[in-house]
Amino acid sequence: MNLLKIQNPDFNSLFDELIFNQDWKNQKLSLPSVNIIEADDHFDIQLATPGMKKSDFQIEVEEGVLIISSDTHTKYNETETSFTRKEFGYHSFKRSFNIPDTIYVDRISATYKEGILTVSLPKKEEALPQPKKLVSIK
């Protein structure tokens, strides 16, 4: 029984060979998507990581680099689980971001809500927007 009607069999079989070939099954195929948001007083780095738990993440700062990683693997009992096709699972990943000198490294915080990991990087005073200064003419 087919769940999907194949529109172009040559393209789909080529696609299947490239992406779903057994040689690729242990390779990580993608990294979590990232949004970087700049506000006046901080940066937010958001990673799309649905289905994970807070305890799945490791966040480190080393030599001016923020490293966000996870070493999560989906385990199935091969004798009880029979996949017709397996396209998703939890894979290990590691994302790195250079941190500018204008960030308070000791104040970096993180939250995880509804599949989005948000890492907030507060800016130092000198990086905050300064009010306009009027210069008087003499």
pTM of the model: 0.66
In contact, 32 and 93? CB cutoff 8 Å: yes
Amino acid at 38: E
pLDDT digits (tens, 9 = 90+) for 6-41: 444 444 444 454 444 444 444 445 689 999 999 989
* Residue partners of 53: CB distance under 8 A and separation at least 6: 112
Q: What is the CATH number of the domain that holds 84?
A: 2.60.40.790
In a domain, 133, yes or no: no
d(CA 35, CA 64): 20
In a domain, 77, yes or no: yes
In a domain, 57, yes or no: yes
Handedness of CA 32, 36, 42, 48 (dihedral sign): negative
In a domain, 20, yes or no: no
- Name the domain count of the chain: 1
In a domain, 121, yes or no: yes
In a domain, 3, yes or no: no
In a domain, 130, yes or no: no
Amino acid at 104: Y
| Helix or strand run (H / E) with residue 14 | helix 9-19
The pLDDT score that the predictor gives to residue 84 is 78
Range of the domain at 41: 30-125
Instruction: Enumerate residue ranges in the chain where pLDDT < 50.
Output: 1-15, 17-28
In a domain, 75, yes or no: yes
